Structure 1
Amino acid sequence: MAFPQELLDSLRRAPEDVAFEHGERRVRRGEVLDLVGRFVAGLRAAGVRAGDGVGIATGVTPEGWAAQVAVQTLGARAVGVREGLPAAHLAAVLDGVAAVVTDGSFQLPGVRVLRIGAELLAEYEEPVPCGRPEDLGWVVFTSGSTGAPKGVAYRFDALGEFGIEQRGKTPEGEYRRFLLFGTLSSAVMVLHLQACLLAGGTVVIPAGAPDFPWVLPRLDITAALVTVPRLYRMLDVLRREQVDLSRLRALTVAGSPVEPGLLAEGFERIGSSLRQGYGQTETGKLTVLYRGDVAEHPEAIASVGLPCDGVSVEVRDAAGRAVPAGVSGEVFVRAARAFAGYWGDSASSRSVLVDGWVRTQDIGRLDERGFLYLTGRARDVVIVNAVIHYTGPIERVLASHREVDQAYVVAVPDERTGEAAHAFVVAAPGCVPDPVRLREAVAAELGEGAVPASVTVVGEVPVAESGKPDKGALRGMVVRGA
């Protein structure tokens, strides 16, 4: 079945049921299908053809999602455009894009803009999927902290696999009301949105920023996603207030591993609806840890769970050989829904896609029951609010400043953001580095998300026995408050 045929069929089956609840609006499934058909007609009239790239720069709205599905129905490539990108990153995201659909004031020289309104939605065309399985249907860009955003590209056949994954496997009522917020350029959000619609549920978009945990009972939410920092803030509230979460069926925490003690507290205070998920933009969901798993195997509280159906996990040594249970190595995964490669970056694609497997670049081990334990990263990154930022580019920006001789960045757990970047710099001769100016330089080059939480000037950097800078010692300095 060609993607997004299954989604279109699900909208047709119950046209009077509410698909989206957007503040005070109620948008029925038949109305969403009509929106998709009008976008198909408007985009075709605007010259969009199969194989074209079309940016989606909209708010979190039914129209924004319908525009993305219409692009994919035409066999074109939907490209998520995240708000607030630096100009250089935005240009990289829109490289090769024929047009951008927007509901705001988006503009960029040389890029054709199609604004959502009466003109674009004037006609209707029955939506019939045109994409071939081997064509690219979706590109989701990473944060850009490597110096330029990486475009994670999915083929249409992989997009169809996400629907197959959900069919018949979602407990009844779990997706009755799914909370959607943030951005439509988030792969995990959009995939859960689509899972909700396939399950016959309603996608609930709050009028403003969601106030966890109170938003859950107030909007009668049964399924939601949260980052690790948001879970920690929820626990802060639940320690002092009673919040009725009895109708919640699935609260998935993702983005980075949860500290085992806090996860145990979450299971106690929130209940069996809480689960920890591990996955990547390149692969989708890989493993899940449920409260029942921990009840049966208490030691699994330190893991990220068991592989999902259709996912194979191997831990390999530096030579690429699988290692036995209990031995650490790099985590490799295989799934039919994995990405096809990085847009316009064949070298990075070849390094990550290996004989049908995806190198996660995470370090971990499997136990004898198949639980996966993450123990480190093969890549030097910091995950801030579930967004990956590479430390190397941050170090290069700092070290290139005239006041700095050396720069080192480490990732340290943070209750507010999951992890935070902390920088240590050695002054250039005769200079006194100003941390404010250094943080401004990082923001200008890499965006606000990459800015270190602290910049500490040191006389010298501790050195490990290997002769390399001892980042473990630097992390210890942060933890001790040095």
Structure 2
Amino acid sequence: MQLTQSLRRNAELFPSQAALICGSRVTTWAELQQRVARLAAAFRAAGANPGDRIAMLAVNSDRFVECLYAVLWAGCVAIPFNTRWAEAEINFALEDSEPAIMVVDANFAGWASWFAASGVAVFGCEDGLGVPSIGELVSMHEPIPEEGGSGCDLAGIFYTGGTTGRAKGVMLSHAQLITAFLAAQAVTQYASNAVVLHIAPMFHIAGAGMLFGMTMLGATHVILSSFDPATTIKSVEEHRVTVMLLVPTMISMLCERLRQQPADMSSIQRLTYGASPISSAVLEAAMELLPNARFVQAYGQTELSACLTVLDHEDHLAGRGRSAGRVAPTMSLRIVNRQGEPVPVGVVGEIEARAPGVMLGYWKQPNLTAQTIVDGWLKTGDAGRVDEAGYLYLEDRVKDMIITGGENVYSAEVENALMSHPGVAQCAVIGVPDERWGERVHAIIQTREGIPVTESDLKAHCEPLIANYKRPKSFELRATSLPLSGAGKIMKAELRRPFWEGRSRQIG
């Protein structure tokens, strides 16, 4: 199995078909293969040997895609840096991964001289950055034969975490990235003539996995640098996009825009979502506003090469929208207690997974790898339960579970109740210190413009929905958006930090 094989196939079968659409630039599959082979030659000429690492600090673009495949074509290892990292996090990843080459775009041109001073060769996605650009490199070099790895060879390192301690570089192979997509494809298929709108950042496993997987199918990739509801809608209408991958936060914002300014979204045939729980209210609105779309939820994590379970469209129609679906082919999951023992059906515990997509390990962190993968089972850090039919229900991140007065409260359940209030646009539920209860349930809410809402309203709204001990005891109402990670998730660690400064959080 080899990620670059799909480039060769598409160039042979669909040479004149659009592979990449980014702004006004359109690149065919034949052109893309040639550009990738020439850029790979430039990487090799700059001193990158097979197995060396090449990092990218750039937003989504066609040049990013060319770079990613050129790294693999040259037999090197791709490391996409998170474009939302702070300076210290970029420095850490640079020192940790020790890349031979850095590729930056105009957003990070200021870093070029610093990277160069660190002894790293630096290239630019665009002209005018003071370093050789991808366009210049492609024109200067002749294409080289592919020297990429395959199977269990390391293909990429994707950094996760970083908000609660040392970032973790997840090592993924060609075979892991390919089989994870094919497992999901076996459950619910994408069309081979798909037009995919890429919004999720490709430094995240969801965005990269969608790129690799849909390239295997020969789809056309329409690429946006970031998420904006108006731009997303315009792209869908202009290019007749058929497939989107969004996180629930994006879906909520898209629905808000469509309510205000209706548009023709009839081309959307498939909307895949995941990364965090979706509220029933947002899901119902999306299904109404995107009537031709089949909704599919995928649950997984970077350490699993993305996907573990899939909830297909029929399951949504059957009222299983709160489930994360059933385990995909080739995958296994189990629920265990704190002693690592499997628990009965319906009992909440930690989700563990065994699958071909389980990572090779954490880069330079063998001890953490050994703690995370035990007897072939990956400890996901997520809490969930499985019902009699094999459907997985996510309760929370284990670390986000709130213990108040000896009772376990899963924030996702509280958030789902709050999100069904019409005045709530976003919310995050966290545990904060409480002298009496140890922790109390605290809700941080972005209110919806034009709909007045008070703490009393929210308390009354939650009363019939969740038990008293689960209801928030304190609130913080905001008019602005909550902090989001590069993957579009609400950054609970950042919201929690002010409450727990100088304290040791004990959750049992």
Do they fold alike, i.e. is TM over 0.5?
A: yes
**Greater shift in the superposed pair: 280-289 or 122-131:** 122-131
Q: What residue in structure 1 maps to residue 122 of structure 2?
A: 113
Change beyond 3 A, Cα 1:264–1:288: farther
Cα distance in 2 for partners of 1:324, 1:204 equals 45
1:186 maps to which residue? 204
**Normalised TM-score (structure 1):** 0.76
Match of 1:176 in 2: 194
The 2-side partners of 1:325 and 1:450 are apart by: 29
- Checking the alignment, whether the CA contact within 8 Å between 2:200 and 2:245 is kept in structure 1 is no
TM-score, normalising length: structure 2: 0.72
- The CA distance in 1 between the partners of 2:188 and 2:494, in whole Å, is 40
Report if the CA contact (8 A) 2:229-2:257 is conserved. Answer: no
Q: CA deviation at 1:415?
A: 6.0
**1:93-119 CA distances to partner (integer Å, 9 max, x unpaired)?**
122212212343132331331333455
Task: Quote the offset at 1:313 in angstroms.
Answer: 1.5
Which of 334, 344, 353 is equivalent to 1:314? 334
Q: Does 1:278 align with 2:299?
A: yes
Partner SS state of residue 203, structure 1: strand
In the alignment, which residue of structure 1 is the partner of 2:422? none
Q: 1:138 to 1:325 in 2, by over 3 A?
A: same
Distance 1:162 1:374, change over 3 A: closer
Alpha-carbon distance between aligned partners in 2 of 1:323 and 1:242, rounded to the nearest angstrom: 48
- Cα distance in 1, alignment partners of residues 215 and 56 from structure 2: 20
Deviation at 1:165, TM superposition (A): 3.9
Cα distance 1:189–1:9, how it changes in 2: closer, same or farther (>3 A)? same
Residues 41 and 74, structure 2, Cα contact 8 Å, conserved in 1: no
SS of residue matched to 1:214: helix
Structure 1 pair 37–168 and aligned structure 2 pair: CA distance change class (3 A):
farther
Distance 1:416 1:334 in 2: 41
Q: Which segments of 5 or more consecutive residues in structure 2 lack a partner in the other structure? A: 125-132, 402-410, 416-427, 433-437, 449-484
Alpha carbon RMSD of aligned pairs, Å? 3.7
Aligned to 1:24: 24
1:287–1:264 CA distance, 2 compared to 1 (3 A): farther
Higher helix share: 2
The residue number in structure 1 matching 2:317 is 295
Specify the alignment match of 1:433 in structure 2: none
The amino acid across from 1:98 in the alignment is: A
Q: Cα distance 1:11–1:5, how it changes in 2: closer, same or farther (>3 A)? A: same
CA gap 1:342/1:414 in 2 versus in 1, 3 angstroms: farther
Residue correspondence of structure 1 range 80-95 to structure 2 within 5 A: 80-95=80-95
Query: Structure 2 CA distance, aligned partners of 1:244 and 1:234?
Result: 13
Cα deviation digits, residues 279-334 of structure 1 (max 9, x gap) = 211111122223411433x3x23211122222211111222222221121110112
Gaps of 5+ in 1: 396-406, 418-442, 462-466, 472-482
Q: Give secondary structure in 2 for the equivalent of 1:257.
A: coil
Q: What is the Cα deviation at residue 138 of structure 1?
A: 0.1
2:468 is matched with which residue? none
Asked if the contact 1:55–1:97 (Cα under 8 Å) also holds between the matched residues in 2, the reply is: yes
Q: Is the 8 A contact 1:137 1:155 kept in 2?
A: yes
Deviation at 1:457, TM superposition (A): 8.1
Find out whether 1:221 has 2:221 as its counterpart: no
- What secondary structure sits across from 1:94 in the alignment? helix
Q: Is the 8 Å Cα contact of residues 251 and 282 (structure 2) preserved in structure 1?
A: no
Q: Quickly say closer, same or farther: Cα 1:259–1:182, change in 2 above 3 A.
A: closer
Change (3 A) 1:136 1:311: same
SS at match of 1:263: helix
Percent identity over the alignment?
25
Q: Name the SS for the 2:42 alignment partner.
A: helix
Q: Secondary structure at the match of 1:379?
A: helix
Report SS of the residue matched to 1:348: helix
Q: Contact (CA 8 Å) 2:4, 2:148: kept in 1 or not?
A: no
Alignment of 1:58-457 (within 5 A): 58-95=58-95, 96-104=98-106, 105=109, 106-107=111-112, 108=114, 109-110=117-118, 111-115=120-124, 116-121=133-138, 122-131=140-149, 133-162=151-180, 164-165=182-183, 171=189, 173=191, 176-206=194-224, 209-211=227-229, 214-215=233-234, 216-239=236-259, 242-271=262-291, 272-283=293-304, 284-296=306-318, 298=319, 300-380=320-400, 412=443, 414=445, 452=494
Q: 2: distance between equivalents of 1:290 and 1:415?
A: 30
Q: For residue 274 of structure 1, report the CA deviation from its aligned partner.
A: 2.2
SS of structure 2 residue aligned to 1:20: strand
State the partner residue of 1:35: 35
Given that 1:173 and 1:222 are in contact with CA atoms closer than 8 Å, whether structure 2 keeps it comes out as no
Cα distance change on mapping 1:218 and 1:185 into 2, 3 Å: same
Amino acid at match of 1:214: I
Distance 1:456 1:170, change over 3 A: closer
**What's the secondary structure of 1:247's corresponding residue?**
coil
1:464 counterpart residue number: none
Q: Give the drift of 1:412.
A: 4.4
Q: Classify 1:326/1:12 alpha carbon distance in 2 versus 1 (closer, same or farther; 3 Å).
A: same
Which digits, 9 at most, give the CA deviation of each residue in 1:166-211, with x for residues without a partner?
A: 7777646376111113533122112112222222221012477542
Partners in 1 of 2:442 and 2:77 — Cα distance?
Answer: 35
Q: Which residue type is aligned with residue 2 of structure 2?
A: A
Distance 1:118 1:275, change over 3 A: closer
Question: What's the CA shift for 1:350?
Answer: 1.3
Instruction: Give aligned pairs, total.
Output: 416
Q: Provide, for residues 359-414 of structure 1, a one-character-per-residue CA deviation record: whole Å limited to 9, x for no partner.
A: 11111110011110111222238999xxxx9x99xx9xxxxxxxxxxx99987475
The amino acid across from 1:50 in the alignment is P
Q: CA deviation at 1:338?
A: 2.2
In the alignment, residue 300 of structure 2 is paired with which amino acid?
Answer: G
In 1, are the aligned partners of 2:55 and 2:102 still within 8 Å (CA)?
yes
